[in-house]
Amino acid sequence: MFKRIDHVELVTDQPERTVAFYTEMLGFKVKRRDRVQAPNGTALDLVYLDLGGTVIEVITYEGVKPGPAASGVHLGWNLAAIEVEDMTKAVDFLKAKGVPVTWGPLVRDTYARAEIQDPNGYSIELRQWK
């Protein structure tokens, strides 16, 4: 009946900067762009980004400025996690591109974990399974 998570929505007021970050820094590919009318008449711009079958839907509401990103421990969805092949190479690549690591890397026997933030301040976990 249920197959998988189809996509995760990310709401932003910086669509081009957000798309550039996910494509240029993290290797997502633009799958599709769309513009739709919401039931209340507001227009939505959508960009679907794909990384190995994982899709992030970047949403921009016309005329709406979202509030600040949630940070720290809070109820609800917390962050997205991206699996990396080599934590050291991934962290070095991102740092060279000006993307700071906000937490970690923490290395354990079975995994390594670090966190970065996208241009909206949303946390992204980097995970290497060993």
If asked whether residues 9 and 54 sit together in one domain, one would say yes
If asked whether residues 49 and 89 sit together in one domain, one would say no
Read out DSSP for 58-114? EEEETT----PPP-SS-SS---EEEE-S-HHHHHHHHHHTT---SEEEEE-SSEEEE
Which residue segment(s) compose the domain that 59 sits in?
1-63
Specify if 73 maps to a domain.
no
Give residue 108's pLDDT band: very low, low, confident or very high (50, 70, 90): very high
Specify if 68 maps to a domain.
no
CATH classification of the domain holding 56: 3.10.180.10
pLDDT, one tens digit per residue, over 61-85 is 887 766 666 666 665 677 899 999 9
pLDDT, one tens digit per residue, over 7-28 is 999 989 899 999 999 999 999 9
Count of domains observed in the chain: 2
pTM for this prediction:
0.86
